[in-house]
Amino acid sequence: MIFGIMGAMPDEVDQLCARLQDVTCETYAGVDYHKGTLQGKQVVVCCAGMGKANAASTVQVLCTRYGIDRLIFSGIAGNMTSKIGIGDVCVGETVVYHDAELDMLAQSAPFLKEYHGDPALVAAALDACAACGVKAIAGKIATGDTFVGDAATKKAIEEKCRPDCVEMEGAAVSQIAGRNGVPCVVLRAMSDNADESGYEVLVVKQFSIAEYIKTATDIVTHMIEHL
């Protein structure tokens, strides 16, 4: 069993890479792939870069070149729900594009308009969050190639697909994993409220990416240990 672990930014995977044993690193198509063991399990950890194209191409490399059997994506997102708050986690039970023609996408493999996190991985993620003292829900994640930082855009996305959070990679990860028959799950910590307050939250440091990354590393490590 080989686990692929992805993030969109270097900070999201650096601490995981530091925990690996027997590590080798290969750069392929501009991405560094760190192969090693975590909790005695074989893993490949990488930073895909931001956006759908970067995410999709990296997932395909993980599947084709490294033969992963399971995929975990961990990162941050803009909150779209009152169920959770800043620093809490949304586990992608459902993942959908908010900026795509879904009927057209569904004409090719995996022939879906929305994607669903693997039930076993979703359950493992929720268990890991609970073990790490992090509030989490299994919810809906919306993906698009735009950073959402204003109320008008947030409202339009809310009216279109009613997500619990919004980000830039999850649906692409899920689509390509599904095309390859690889079970996956997307985990997102709420870093802001996807509106004009985002600057204050991220820059004035109500949300600390550095602090959450340590927690996220613990969550993923717990998942790997118990899967």
Domain count, the chain: 1
| pLDDT, averaged across the chain | 92
22 noted as active-site residue:
no
Q: Which position among 12, 118, 195, 218 bears the catalytic label?
A: 12
pLDDT digits (tens, 9 = 90+) for 91-125: 999 999 999 999 999 999 999 999 999 999 999 99
192 noted as active-site residue:
yes
pLDDT band at 161 (very low <50, low <70, confident <90, very high): very high
Q: What number is the average pLDDT over the span 87-92?
A: 94
Instruction: Return the pLDDT at 58.
Output: 98
Instruction: Return the pLDDT at 193.
Output: 75
DSSP string over 81-121: -SSS-TT-EEEEEEEEESSS-HHHHTTSTT--SSEE--HHH
Q: What number is the average pLDDT over the span 3-22?
A: 93
Q: What number is the average pLDDT over the span 151-169?
A: 93
Please count the other Cβ atoms lying within 10 Å of the Cβ belonging to residue 177: 28
Instruction: Return the pLDDT at 170.
Output: 97
Angle at 89 between CA 15 and CA 145, to 5 degrees: 85
pLDDT digits (tens, 9 = 90+) for 63-72: 999 999 999 9
CATH classification of the domain holding 65 = 3.40.50.1580
Cα–Cα nearest to 140, from 153, 158, 120, 155: 158
Cα–Cα nearest to 81, from 69, 71, 70, 91: 91
Residue 200 scores a pLDDT above 80: no
Instruction: Return the pLDDT at 196.
Output: 56
In three-state secondary structure terms, 69 is coil
Instruction: Return the pLDDT at 199.
Output: 47
Domain of residue 203 covers 2-226
Instruction: Return the pLDDT at 86.
Output: 85
Q: What number is the average pLDDT over the span 45-61?
A: 97
Q: Which position among 164, 167, 192, 195 bears the catalytic label?
A: 192
Residue 204 scores a pLDDT above 70: no
